[in-house]
Amino acid sequence: MIWVMAMFLACGDKIEVGDDTGSEGLNPMRYPSGDEILVYTGHGGVDGDGGASGEVEIVSARWQSTLGYQTNVRDVIPTDLSDYRAIIMMAPGYHESENFSASDVKQLRAALANGTRLIILADNQTCSEASVSNLLGLLDVTVRFDGFASTAANLVQVETFNYESQVVEGLTEVLLHAPCYATDGDAGEMFFADKDNNVVGVRQQFGGGGDVVLIGDYRFLDDTGYLDYVDNALLADNLVIVQPSDQ
């Protein structure tokens, strides 16, 4: 499997970027046409309330100025997701656990089918969050957070990359804050791991449409200050660019 190959790479070694065929190698992946990003803080996610971690003003300004993408922060899933190229969930279950409704799942499945990327970011308190695991099951993907997290008190260095994934194109080092570990299941792929080969980022294509991405930490993205570290900002850009690797 791809992730097995990647796990034994020497630090910083690269796998060549592959093509953009579907998971079966037959159908091209569909890419989004919308130019908006949804940062979703509902279902008990971190929301930056009162100036706490979870605010995304800095990265939103970056995406607007460098990529031309508008960011919308919502705590309710909009009824129309067609304009969103990426949906970023900010650690669902951080404040409280709430199951995703059948309507939520239907809307997210439709967005994925149109090429939207669904990105679920975790916190070390949400590695075992049942609502996230249930949602992934209802979306028919096998990637999961595995319930465990780094025991490091602060930042964890990511330096093993699977360069077949557009998510990590151009990255050489990422720093995450005490991330949750993840598994690619039967149909996903690892895209990065920490220096001890603990997988902290996985993705899976959703049929011929978009893809589902799991990363074990949200703080690399928010206003906490880690966005400026090493290649964290480039990772943030890659997550929302969502286009073939050769463009």
CATH number at residue 202: 3.40.50.880
Q: For residue 174, is it within any domain?
A: yes
| 178, 153 contact by CB (below 8 A) | yes
Q: For residue 247, is it within any domain?
A: no
pLDDT in tens, 14-58: 322 233 444 334 456 788 889 999 999 999 999 987 666 899 999
Pairing of strands 211-215, 199-205: antiparallel
Does pTM top 0.85 for this prediction?
yes
pLDDT in tens, 86-118: 999 999 999 999 999 999 999 999 999 999 999
**DSSP, residue by residue, 134-161:** HHHHHTT---EEEEEE---SSEEEEEEE
pLDDT in tens, 140-167: 999 999 999 998 777 999 999 999 999 9
What's the number of domains the chain is made of? 1
Q: What is the dihedral of CA 180, 183, 189, 191, to 10 degrees?
A: 20
Q: For residue 246, is it within any domain?
A: no
Could you give the 3-state DSSP secondary structure of residue 66? helix
Q: For residue 172, is it within any domain?
A: yes
Tokens read off for 238: 């890659």
| 177, 154 contact by CB (below 8 A) | yes
Q: Which residue range is the domain that position 145 belongs to?
A: 2-241
